[in-house]
Structure 1
Amino acid sequence: MQILHIIATLSPEAGGPSQAVRMILSHREIGYRGEVATLDDPVAPFLKTLDFPVHPLGPVSTTYGYTPKLVPWIQQNYRRFDGVIVHGLWQYCGRAARQALDGRMPYMVFTHGMLDPYFKRASRLKHLKKWLYWAPVEYNVLRDAYRVLFTSEAERDLAEQSFWLHRWNPHVVPYGVNGPPATPSQILAESFFDRCPSARGKRFLLFLGRIHRKKGCDLLIEAFGKIARRDPELHLVMAGPDQQGWSRDLNQMAAAAAVQDRVHWPGMLTGNAKWGAFFSCEAFVLPSHQENFGIAVAEALSCGKPVLLSDQVNIAPDIVRDGAGLMEPDTADGTLQLLQRWIDTSAEERARISARTFDCFRRRYDMRETAKTILNLFENAKRETGITVSA
């Protein structure tokens, strides 16, 4: 089947949605074929690294991503596909897909956690602004979608708490990652240490994701500063893009706690360096305030690493039930408790947790199952609607 994915950007710095599209489109062995329409600038260097067809219709000048090119492009090309998936909310992509298709082809919307009521708690002003777009536009995009895709039952249920006006056809899809490459872990580790030589030979916990307030980075630095003397050999690696320019403040927090020389900042890691970081760490840690899934969590599990998570990571309860990680509240005290529990865990118990991680990954978070589910949903859509337009 031929599937069209529509997404604002495929930049690796954009996080989960961009990675998800890349991984879903890698499963050609099950008959999944696809192309991507984006709002990216055609000269963006990351587009040259992709091995699937991409149609960059940017550049755009706002975060909303309006471009007059998108609707005509969809109208001219949709007949080549069996279905359309819009990734994310609150941008022009969904509105354009609904307008261009106008019932002529089923489309689905992958929310990627963007309906979590976290923003409602975090900022009333932001919630009000979203309401102004929700009622006339976004609500209709979701209402008219063949299916609205969520990555867990928790994400699906939380979505209904964001706005009292809500009606859509939800579907929970299996979700995950492709796992590490076949390259020996020692070679991958060297790629990481080339990027972060100050961590070589150190025991460390790994944070890998955007340096963003939503991720609880400040809670992690604060907690690490408080427990550092209990385990003098333990270090912390904070890997990821800093689009908010927050690293300076976080570094000052580390300096105030006298742990600046034990916190390492390699920047964004991709490819072998990213996988090397996972294989080299002692455990992965994510004290996020809101995480519908957490691709890096599944990547850590696929490398056999325990995960230390806040209770706002929607998949954390499943992982804890599988005995593959620890969970505490997304508060200063909770994050401190999370690190203290890990330090207090015996070597024997750490080994038992590590032994459970890959089985947890294999059963729950293999992205191949996501691709299969999408194909099955569009097959069902064909039978239910009778629409067949792909050449």
Structure 2
Amino acid sequence: MKTLHIIPSIEPRSGGPAEAIKRLATEVRLRGHSVDVVCLDSPVHADATDDTAFNRVIRLGHYAGKYSFSFRLVRWLMQNGRQYDAIVVDGIWQFHSAAAVVSLRSLGVPYFVIPHGMLDPWFNVGRPLKYAKKLVYWMLVERHVISNAQGILFTADSERKLARNSFPLYRAKEATITYGTAPPPSIETTGVGNWRASAECEGKKLIVFLGRIHEKKGCDLLVRSFHDLKEAGDDYQIVIAGPDNNGLVARLRREAEHLGLAGRITWPGMVTGNDKWSLLQAADVLILPSHQENFGVVVAEALACGVPVLLTDKVGIWQEVVADGAGLADEDTQQGVTRLLTRWTSLSDEAKATMRTAARQCFDNRFHVSRVAQSYIALMGNGRPESVNTLPDSVTG
């Protein structure tokens, strides 16, 4: 089976979707199948570190604006679309999804869409102008991308249900496909002691946030809630690691300094490869205080390291994690995040050890990439999954 993923970027800074595709592609290829990816990254100065995950990476470059407008992508899909058994569009709201529906429909080639949380109503709340622009674009383009797809693949059931309430005239053939990741390298390989021995972290237990520094991630809640812990947080160091594409770190650092936390929070920037895994392996707990998160690949990565997770109830897989005893969850408010931190710091060493064991079991049972690959191959091979739910005509968003 030969599959193609269409995505604006596979650079590490682009976030979880690119990382998830790489891990999935690696496992699918081990099972004898082919996975290509076409993106709009520039071939010049590209980070080709993970290109070996795919059979072929096609970087077209030469796009215009934030919308990533590219006639080159349309031409490439028209010329090459028929050679694939299955095509997946990763994400929406940029030109690559419009290019897919225009090109592939004219060829009669079916495609799937993974929205990666981009149909969550959270993005519309309190943003009337942005919502108005998206509504116009939805009516003209994106609803046709969705309604003409062979299947819309959600990474959690909660994401699927929320998507129905985002925009009017929503029609979709829905399915849920769990995402996951591969097990981490050994501690000997990653050098976990490097974090624990650093000047700021030495002798401290690490509460780690790992991901894009974006307003939806709730890092401001984490800073304020850590301050709320007062003496209970004395044994802990916060590590907030990830790319800052929107200039939020400077504001967060100023707030931390104002609260007297300047030396209590470490800001290493973006970490990748063994540095990322060593940070997770050194963590006492991972925290993801997001306002919106369809899945959260970093959650699966932490669980793979046997690290419990603290989640808000806006992270799509929080119910599975809590049900397995692999973490705690609360609401996405300062009070909710403070409760999470308070509950964690109040746990006994024995209770934490039990949760670490549960974390690895949760990963093995639910989010190991081998399980994800089996589901993916069955779905793509059949052309249409049995779990697809076509909404009746009377259902709208």
Q: How far is the alpha carbon of 1:86 from its aligned partner?
A: 0.5
Moved more, 33-42 or 94-103: 94-103
Match of 2:59 among 56, 59, 65: 56
Q: How far is the alpha carbon of 1:308 from its aligned partner?
A: 0.6
2:111 is the alignment partner of 1:107: yes
1:42 and 1:59 in contact (8 A); partners too:
no
1:125 paired residue number: 129
Structure 2 CA distance, aligned partners of 1:383 and 1:270? 34
CA pair 192-383 structure 1, distance change in 2 beyond 3 A: closer
1:188 paired residue number: 191
The percentage of aligned residue pairs carrying the same residue is 40
Structure 2 CA distance, aligned partners of 1:379 and 1:21? 17
2:277 paired residue number: 275
2:301 is the alignment partner of 1:299: yes
Structure 2 CA distance, aligned partners of 1:230 and 1:178? 35
CA pair 191-24 structure 1, distance change in 2 beyond 3 A: farther
1:388 paired residue number: none
Aligned residue type for 1:205: I
1:36 paired residue number: 37
Q: How far is the alpha carbon of 1:252 from its aligned partner?
A: 1.6
CA pair 227-78 structure 1, distance change in 2 beyond 3 A: same
Matches within 5 A, 1:156-175: 156-175=160-179
Structure 2 CA distance, aligned partners of 1:301 and 1:158? 25
Aligned residue type for 2:154: F
CA pair 65-197 structure 1, distance change in 2 beyond 3 A: farther
Matches within 5 A, 1:329-368: 329-368=331-370
Q: How far is the alpha carbon of 1:377 from its aligned partner?
A: 2.0
1:224 and 1:336 in contact (8 A); partners too:
yes
Structure 2 unaligned segments of length 5 or more: list them. Answer: 387-397
Aligned residue type for 1:318: E
2:148 is the alignment partner of 1:147: no
Structure 2 CA distance, aligned partners of 1:62 and 1:142? 23
Moved more, 13-22 or 23-32: 23-32
Misfit runs of 4+, over 4 Å: 190-194
Aligned residue type for 2:183: G
Q: How far is the alpha carbon of 1:179 from its aligned partner?
A: 2.2
CA pair 184-380 structure 1, distance change in 2 beyond 3 A: same
Aligned residue type for 1:280: A
Q: Deviations over 1:267-319 (max 9, x none)?
A: 11101010000110100011100000001111101100110111111111111
Structure 1 CA distance, aligned partners of 2:230 and 2:184? 30
Structure 2 CA distance, aligned partners of 1:49 and 1:282? 28
2:122 and 2:292 in contact (8 A); partners too:
yes
Match of 2:68 among 48, 65, 81: 65
1:85 and 1:110 in contact (8 A); partners too:
yes
1:111 and 1:150 in contact (8 A); partners too:
yes
Q: Deviations over 1:211-240 (max 9, x none)?
A: 111100000000111214223121100110
Structure 2 CA distance, aligned partners of 1:100 and 1:189? 47
Aligned residue type for 1:248: A
2:20 is the alignment partner of 1:20: yes
2:187 and 2:278 in contact (8 A); partners too:
no
Q: How far is the alpha carbon of 1:30 from its aligned partner?
A: 1.6
Q: How far is the alpha carbon of 1:42 from its aligned partner?
A: 1.1
Aligned residue type for 1:40: D
Matches within 5 A, 1:251-266: 251-266=253-268
1:2 paired residue number: 2
Aligned residue type for 2:14: A
Give the match's secondary structure for 1:22: helix
Match of 1:93 among 83, 92, 96: 96
Matches within 5 A, 1:205-220: 205-220=207-222
2:224 is the alignment partner of 1:222: yes
Give the match's secondary structure for 2:340: helix
Aligned residue type for 1:8: P
Structure 2 CA distance, aligned partners of 1:383 and 1:342? 40
2:112 and 2:152 in contact (8 A); partners too:
yes
Matches within 5 A, 1:79-90: 79-90=82-93
1:192 and 1:274 in contact (8 A); partners too:
no
2:110 and 2:149 in contact (8 A); partners too:
yes
CA pair 288-89 structure 1, distance change in 2 beyond 3 A: same
Q: How far is the alpha carbon of 1:34 from its aligned partner?
A: 1.0
2:322 is the alignment partner of 1:320: yes
Q: How many residues align?
A: 382
1:228 and 1:234 in contact (8 A); partners too:
no
1:174 and 1:367 in contact (8 A); partners too:
no
CA pair 343-139 structure 1, distance change in 2 beyond 3 A: same
Moved more, 300-309 or 49-58: 49-58
CA pair 232-63 structure 1, distance change in 2 beyond 3 A: same
Structure 1 CA distance, aligned partners of 2:127 and 2:373? 35
CA pair 260-333 structure 1, distance change in 2 beyond 3 A: same
2:47 is the alignment partner of 1:46: yes
Give the match's secondary structure for 2:61: coil
1:191 and 1:272 in contact (8 A); partners too:
no
CA pair 73-147 structure 1, distance change in 2 beyond 3 A: same
Aligned residue type for 2:110: P
